[in-house]
Amino acid sequence: MAQPYFAHCSLHDNNSQPLMQAEDEQEFRQFHSLPKPPALYLKGASHSHNSGGAGGIAVAARLAKKGYKVTVVEKNADIGGRCSLMQENDYRFDQGPSLLLMPSFFHQIFHDLDTSISAEGITLRKCDLSYRIWFPDHDHLDLSTDIPSMKEQIEAHEGPYGFEGFLRFLVESGRHYNLSCEHILHRNFATIWSLLRWDLLLALPRLHVFESIYTRASRYFHSDKLRQAFTFASMYLGMSPFDAPATYSLLQYTEMTDGIWYPIGGFRTILDALVKISIRHGTTYILNTPVTSIELSDDHQHITGVRLSTGETLSADIVIVNADITYAYNNLLLSKTTYSKSLQNKPTSCSSISFYWGLDTTLPNLQSHNIFLPDSTTYKSSFDTIFKKHQIPDHPSFYLHIPSRIDPSASPPNTDAICDCSDGDGHEDEDGDA
């Protein structure tokens, strides 16, 4: 049996969402009418669980390209945040995202910055298999963009008409993807009223926002294994497939059509490239400097800048915060509001625990991305234990990522670098322990 050459363990808190994420051209158009310099981009702030990631750096690069004077303030000594990198004894691990979906979005970002992914020295490689899904009876299912292979596997579980159900599921998932891109992903929702658009309201019934992804998948698949295989991805969102809106089947659609990709050298190669681009356009980075507060005007109606842990104040016309929303409102804005207080009572997503193993051998039965699912009789209860009881289930789902399968530079020859990630409750007990 393979023994870990070394191992690390870390806890990840994914409880809240960024205050503002602007990653597409639509969201930047709002800045055209604003005065140019100075502008300040703030990310990471002083929240111990957050530092600069790909989204925030892309914002900085876009704004700088448009002529803004951009300063990035980061509490850590390096960029990365939830997209950081760990290296130990020639083993490399991504400590955040481990797979790349919707590659066209990434290509578009670099295109908008007058460059390209390849021109910046980044190589995206497609995984031959999207996932190998393992079940307790040692059966496994290989998900990929190889339609003949999918047909053979699905009919083995569902019978001769099962493939037709799979295609109908893809049609619905594709509709969710296209409608979401058109009405949601490429739109900016500045206020609650911006949701009340006729085109969006008319699209809602076709997005199935009021049905769970498991409910919709059950219309097209009869076997428990396929229902599990095409719904587990809601774990990406920190949500149970029995609660996540069916709209999120768009994830399965892009996995089955575009496939799953990986940047050779790890996800930090993308961040490093975006940082270099932003610097070329004039962005300034201030690292290892926490932000203690967002400064307001005397009447508390306008933001005037940020105060740093050094005591220095940076003035700005615009402050963009990429810290967690609850932390930002309650710790960075000194003027508390009803909204900031209400955020503390909002339901949150789950957290995760990750183990990082460097093996002195390889595990040939495993692919780059491996999902281990519980028996169908405990599939739902495992999520209920996390989200309703706030406990760790006896039979959890877990994910093994082996980057060395697709990128040999992730570990020495004839070895494997493995990340083991499992969802868990993100709440704390009275003693402050997770």
The per-residue pLDDT for range 168-185, each reduced to its tens digit, is 999 999 999 999 999 888
- Taking only the tens place, the pLDDT of each residue in 372-409 is 999 999 999 988 988 888 888 888 889 999 999 999 99
- Taking only the tens place, the pLDDT of each residue in 230-252 is 999 998 888 899 999 999 999 99
pLDDT band at 275 (very low <50, low <70, confident <90, very high): very high
| Better-scored residue on pLDDT, 194 or 151 | 151
The first and second tokens of residue 131, run together, are 């996932």
Q: What is the dihedral of CA 331, 333, 335, 338, to 10 degrees?
A: -80
pLDDT at 236: 81
pLDDT at 425: 62
The first and second tokens of residue 54, run together, are 């790909």
380 φψ region: left (φ > 0), alpha (ψ -120 to 50), beta (else):
alpha
| Better-scored residue on pLDDT, 253 or 53 | 253
Cα–Cα distance measured from residue 143 to residue 256, given in angstroms and rounded to the nearest whole number: 8
pLDDT tops 60 at residue 198: yes
pLDDT at 196: 82
pLDDT tops 50 at residue 45: no
Distance of CA 150 to the CA centre of its chain: 26
Tell the burial category of 48 from Cβ atoms under 10 Å away from its Cβ (0-12, 13-18, 19+).
exposed
pLDDT tops 90 at residue 353: no
What is the mean pLDDT of the segment spanning 206-212?
A: 95
Please report where in the chains the tokens 């037709």 appear, as a residue: 164
pLDDT band at 48 (very low <50, low <70, confident <90, very high): very low
pLDDT tops 60 at residue 38: no
Cα–Cα distance measured from residue 200 to residue 189, given in angstroms and rounded to the nearest whole number: 12
| Better-scored residue on pLDDT, 276 or 32 | 276
- Taking only the tens place, the pLDDT of each residue in 98-156 is 999 999 999 999 999 999 999 999 999 999 999 999 999 999 999 999 999 999 999 99
pLDDT tops 50 at residue 209: yes
pLDDT at 322: 84
- Taking only the tens place, the pLDDT of each residue in 405-427 is 999 999 999 999 999 988 766 55
DSSP E strand stretches across 387-434: 398-401, 416-424
- Averaged confidence pLDDT in the chain: 83
pLDDT tops 50 at residue 34: no
pLDDT at 19: 32
Directed axis angle between helix 147-158 and helix 162-180, to 10°? 120
Q: Tell which residue, 13, 91, 47, has the closest CA to residue 360.
A: 91
Segment among 20-34, 289-303, 319-333 with least mean pLDDT:
20-34
pLDDT at 169: 98
pLDDT band at 339 (very low <50, low <70, confident <90, very high): confident
pLDDT at 374: 92
Sequence-distant (≥ 6) Cβ neighbours of residue 381 within 8 angstroms: 393
| Better-scored residue on pLDDT, 145 or 346 | 145
pLDDT at 424: 67
pLDDT at 27: 32
pLDDT at 222: 96
Question: In the chain, pLDDT over 90 holds for what percent of residues?
Answer: 54
Identity of residue 19? L
Please report where in the chains the tokens 């969201």 appear, as a residue: 27
pLDDT tops 90 at residue 194: no
Sequence-distant (≥ 6) Cβ neighbours of residue 51 within 8 angstroms: 43, 44, 74, 75, 76, 78, 79, 80, 81, 82, 84
Domains and CATH numbers, the chain: 15-125+264-343 (3.50.50.60), 146-257 (1.10.405)
Distance of CA 295 to the CA centre of its chain: 30
pLDDT tops 80 at residue 306: yes
The first and second tokens of residue 378, run together, are 């405990």
Segment among 78-92, 125-139, 199-213, 275-289 with least mean pLDDT:
78-92
pLDDT at 351: 75
pLDDT at 352: 79
